[in-house]
Amino acid sequence: MREMEVLTVNGGRELFGSVRIPGAKNSVLPIMAAAVLCRGTVTITDAPVLSDVRACIRILNRIGCAVSLCGTNIRITPPANPGSSIPHELMRSMRSSLFFLAPMLARTGRAEICMPGGCRLGARPIDMHLDGLAHMGAEITEKQDGSWLLRAENGLKGTEIGLRFPSVGATETLLMAACTAHGTTVLHNAAQEPEVVDLARFLQSAGAQISGVGTPELCITGTDFLFGTQYAVCPDRITAATVMCAVAGCGGEVLLTNIRCGDVQSITQLLERAGCSFVPLGKDAAVIASHGRPRAPGSWKTGVHPDFPTDAAPLAAAALLRAEGESAVTDSVFENRFACADGFCRMGAQAQVSGRTLRLNGVPELCGAHVTAPDLRGGAALVLAALQAQGTSVIAGTEHINRGYENIAALFSRLGASVTAAEKQQEVSGMAE
Ligand code: EPZ
């Protein structure tokens, strides 16, 4: 028998109350890796408490960093000579293990990695990371087992790089590599996501010389080293989107605090088209409300920031499963964003995937079912569907969900939902997985 955690949801309730949005997962993870560049202690505050953060700590320990986690504060002290290789099982635990490549290479002149893990959203190659580092002078050797050894004994050199796509991860890798390179690096077509801005602001607080932050043109003048600093992580706009889409789907009224309204504009505009109201209160709070069935907002596409974020696409789809009319969302970023559609259909939704597009035809009612989370945001989307469904749903695969949410059961229970997490015995099939 194998223990596995499942979520049990008794749906059909409206949501009321208030939620403080935690720090951003996709900001704290690259910042933790960037700490390896610093010759001094880095204190990160308002960090979310996630399994991916714990996985990052395991990698930091493995390369010799002293790390202490106290609530939402993480203190990282790199050694004088950090390690330069990450074991395959740690690399494969998440996509964010890739963020250690540039700091190890820049700090030690060497880095040994294999393909990272992460949500199965498509091919997710790392060519832009490797090509950019090669452009900065790294020598790259692909090894028999498919892993890579990168060397830059004399350090990396500043250069001009044009990204063929504004990749978030590749922008972050090259931004970190350039901070202590010899000379100036210009990144064209750089990603502008709030989490990329947050990493740049962290690096600046540690002494990096970066201009153009928040634009597609980043200019970085290398310095000899970065020093220790203290930095507060920006709010997680996708967690905010998760709560807002839950209210849109279930009905109710929720106060969101520690939210940056500018970061979620494309999401609130879509939800307002679906009949929700979103009222900002001051600079870091807002109220989201929805009464009755949502209206189908028609078709829309995801894109790079400031367009509608790919991570919120399954969440918004869940909010529209009972909307009056037809909706369709196309993800222009990943090939396989809507693996959660099967789970939606098991709950009685009319949801169909063709290529990168998910088409929905709203139904008056969903019914509880047994479903399995296919990935992080797809799993959260199934929770949102279960919150609307009449009856009981059981959601397996919560290890995906726990990578990006501190405690999704508590998050929604505090708003009046009935969600519990429990260990469940599972017959281990004789078949190899
Ligand atoms: C980051 O992934 C986020 N993850 C993702 O969030 C997010 O969905 C994504 O950015 C887009 O916003 C983290 O920050 C840890 P990309 P990343 O490089 O960096 C292709 C979540 O749920 N590509 O912008 O992997 C790639 O295949 C996660 O929190 C290459 O072809 O995204 C994809 O089609 C899921 N070659 C597109 O670019 C490369 O070298 C965008 O990927 C790199 C990427």
Among residues 105, 110, 114, which one has the least CA distance to residue 144? Answer: 114
Atom of ligand 1 nearest to the CA of 122: 27
Centre of ligand 1 from the C-alpha of residue 376, in Å: 13
Q: Is 119 a catalytic residue?
A: yes
Give pLDDT, residue 423: 79
Instruction: Classify 132 as helix, strand or coil.
Output: helix
Q: What is the best residue among 99, 333, 340 to mutate for testing ligand 1's pocket, by most ligand atoms within 8 Å of CB?
A: 333
Q: Which of 38, 65, 119, 261 is catalytic?
A: 119
Please say whether the beta carbons of 347 and 368 come within 8 A: yes
Query: CA–CA separation, 376 vs 318, rounded Å?
Result: 14
For residue 51, the one-letter residue type is: S
Indicate the pairing of strand 73-77 with strand 2-11.
Answer: unpaired
Q: What is the pLDDT along the chain (433 residues), one digit of tens a residue?
A: 566 789 999 999 999 999 999 999 999 999 999 999 999 999 999 999 999 999 999 999 999 999 999 999 999 999 999 999 999 999 998 999 999 999 999 999 999 999 898 888 898 899 999 999 999 999 999 998 889 999 999 999 999 999 999 999 999 999 999 999 999 999 999 999 999 999 999 999 999 999 999 999 999 999 999 999 999 999 999 999 999 999 999 999 999 999 999 999 999 999 999 999 999 998 899 999 999 899 999 999 999 999 999 999 999 999 999 999 999 999 999 999 999 999 999 999 999 999 999 999 999 999 999 999 999 999 999 999 999 999 999 999 999 999 999 999 999 999 999 999 987 766 555 443 2
Q: What is the best residue among 168, 171, 233, 334 to mutate for testing ligand 1's pocket, by most ligand atoms within 8 Å of CB?
A: 168
Question: Which residue's CA is the nearest one to ligand 1's atom 20?
Answer: 124
- Residues touching ligand 1 (Cβ under 6 Å) are 25-26, 29, 95-96, 119, 122-129, 165, 167-170, 193, 310-311, 333-334, 376-377, 404
Give pLDDT, residue 357: 98
Please say whether the beta carbons of 355 and 316 come within 8 A: no
Centre of ligand 1 from the C-alpha of residue 167, in Å: 6
Give pLDDT, residue 40: 97
Centre of ligand 1 from the C-alpha of residue 119, in Å: 10
Query: CA–CA separation, 326 vs 41, rounded Å?
Result: 53
Query: CA–CA separation, 5 vs 49, rounded Å?
Result: 18
Give pLDDT, residue 1: 58
Angle between helices 168-178 and 127-135 in degrees, nearest 10:
20
Buried b (16+ CB within 10 A) or exposed e, 104-115: bbbbbbbbbbbb
Buried b (16+ CB within 10 A) or exposed e, 19-46: bebbbbbbbbbbbbbbbbbbeebbbbeb
Other CB atoms within 10 A of residue 133 CB: 26
Among residues 4, 3, 7, which one has the least CA distance to residue 381? Answer: 7
Atom of ligand 1 nearest to the CA of 193: 12
Centre of ligand 1 from the C-alpha of residue 174, in Å: 14
Classify the phi-psi angles of 149: left when phi > 0, otherwise alpha if psi is within -120 to 50, otherwise beta: beta
Among residues 210, 205, 171, which one has the least CA distance to residue 191? Answer: 171
Among residues 52, 9, 6, which one has the least CA distance to residue 415? Answer: 9
Query: CA–CA separation, 393 vs 409, rounded Å?
Result: 13
Query: Would you give the end-to-end CA distance of the chain in angstroms?
Result: 14
Give pLDDT, residue 5: 87
Give pLDDT, residue 428: 54
Give pLDDT, residue 431: 41
